[in-house]
Amino acid sequence: MKRRRSAGLGSGTGAGIGESQRERGWSQVDSNSGQASKGRPRRISARELTAERILAALQRRAADVPHRLAWSSPSGLAQTNRQRLGDFEGRHAGQRCFILGNGPSLAKMDLAPLADEVSFGLNRIYLLFDELPFRPTYYCAANELVLEQFCTDIAALSMPRFLSWSGRRHFDPQDESILYLKQALTLGDFFGRDARSAICSGGTVTYLAIQLAWHMGFHQVILLGVDHSFHDKGIPNREEVRESAEDENHCHPDYFPKGSRWQLPDLLRSEGAYRLAREAFEADGRQIVDATVGGQLEVFEKVRFESLFEDAGYGEEKP
């Protein structure tokens, strides 16, 4: 695989990292007026902090206690896993990578140029493998429902896989191509810089992959398929059984098939987490850009996918 080192983005790829980008509008809704203001990310208002949401958070923390204790073990799988994660620290220093979200826009893109790039595939990206001329370099999944329901599919993948520590019971502990990440359950999100320590989910596996990319030393992270919008509406993180025959929220109609269990994402939370990632990368002279086609996320600099490659014609939408 040809490895590209990241380079600064020239004109035509979006605003540079500087004041012009920082002044672009995130919206924050005031808890009293409900009016949006520019310059800061929208936070969860007091009205949105429901008893159900608080109870669910407490239940997740209680269930995490045995996993947290096992993660701290000085021996066994926990020790071996930390050593393996350490082997990836700085492995891709100075390079760029692509993180493939699972939004519907991903299926509309010509992703052929990624065959020569380092990439991260997330969750059920393998449903597109028949159409892709390459396989992602790395794979990442953290959602408990994904790991539980599709563990057989994930176990069959051949690339290094980074999975949630709490889902390790679904996989062979002797499989050396599987590494585990511990998600910290804290009152507020943070940006984790060392994958050997507990890092933060930020409400989305994409945020987990960004922190992993930092750990590996990537200088530039490019997001694709992070549509940041969902056809289905409802309460974030509530477990539901899919009733519709086709999944319109993701890049494949069978992503969450009829009868499977899934959860709507917490887009508010993920926006705040993405901003933490942007600030961390900028402070270190690194960069995250968003090449999603038609994406609704307004945290990162927008770039045209085809502008990232030397060969004309790459990255056009499929007819």
pLDDT computed for residue 263 by the predictor: 83
pLDDT higher than threshold 70 for residue 47: no
Q: Is the distance from CB of 41 to CB of 31 less than 8 angstroms? A: no
pLDDT computed for residue 19 by the predictor: 33
Question: What is the signed CA dihedral for 254, 269, 99, 146, rounded to 10 degrees?
Answer: -40
Q: How confident is the model at residue 260 (pLDDT cuts 50, 70, 90)?
A: very high
Closest C-alpha to 182, from 170, 162, 199: 199
**Average pLDDT over all residues of the chain:** 82
* Sequence-distant (≥ 6) Cβ neighbours of residue 233 within 8 angstroms: 264
Label the pairing between strands 239-241 and 261-263.
antiparallel
Q: What average pLDDT does range 304-311 have in this prediction?
A: 85
Cα–Cα distance measured from residue 316 to residue 109, given in angstroms and rounded to the nearest whole number: 6
Give percent of the chain with pLDDT exceeding 70: 80
* Sequence-distant (≥ 6) Cβ neighbours of residue 102 within 8 angstroms: 122, 123, 124, 125, 225, 250, 251, 255
Q: Where are the domains of the chain?
A: 50-308
Residue type, 124: R
pLDDT tens sequence across 149-185: 999 999 999 999 999 999 999 999 999 999 999 988 7
Q: Is the distance from CB of 53 to CB of 68 less than 8 angstroms? A: no
Cα–Cα distance measured from residue 128 to residue 253, given in angstroms and rounded to the nearest whole number: 11
Number of neighbouring beta carbons within 10 Å of residue 217: 16
Q: How confident is the model at residue 148 (pLDDT cuts 50, 70, 90)?
A: very high
Q: Is the distance from CB of 163 to CB of 194 less than 8 angstroms? A: no
Q: Which two tokens stand for residue 219?
A: 């200088």
pLDDT computed for residue 176 by the predictor: 94
Q: Which residue has the tokens 């000085």?
A: 74
Cα–Cα distance measured from residue 260 to residue 309, given in angstroms and rounded to the nearest whole number: 38
Q: How confident is the model at residue 121 (pLDDT cuts 50, 70, 90)?
A: very high
Cα–Cα distance measured from residue 158 to residue 135, given in angstroms and rounded to the nearest whole number: 9
pLDDT computed for residue 4 by the predictor: 58
pLDDT computed for residue 3 by the predictor: 52
- Burial category of 119 from C-beta neighbours within 10 Å (exposed 0-12, middle 13-18, buried 19 and up): buried
DSSP per-residue codes, 215-262: HHT-SEEEEES-----SS-S-TT-EEE--SSS-SSSSSTTSS-TT-EE
DSSP reduced 3-state for 192: coil
Q: Which two tokens stand for residue 46?
A: 């007091």
pTM, full prediction: 0.80
Label the pairing between strands 27-29 and 36-38.
antiparallel
Q: How confident is the model at residue 319 (pLDDT cuts 50, 70, 90)?
A: very low
Highest-pLDDT range among 9-23, 31-45, 298-312: 298-312
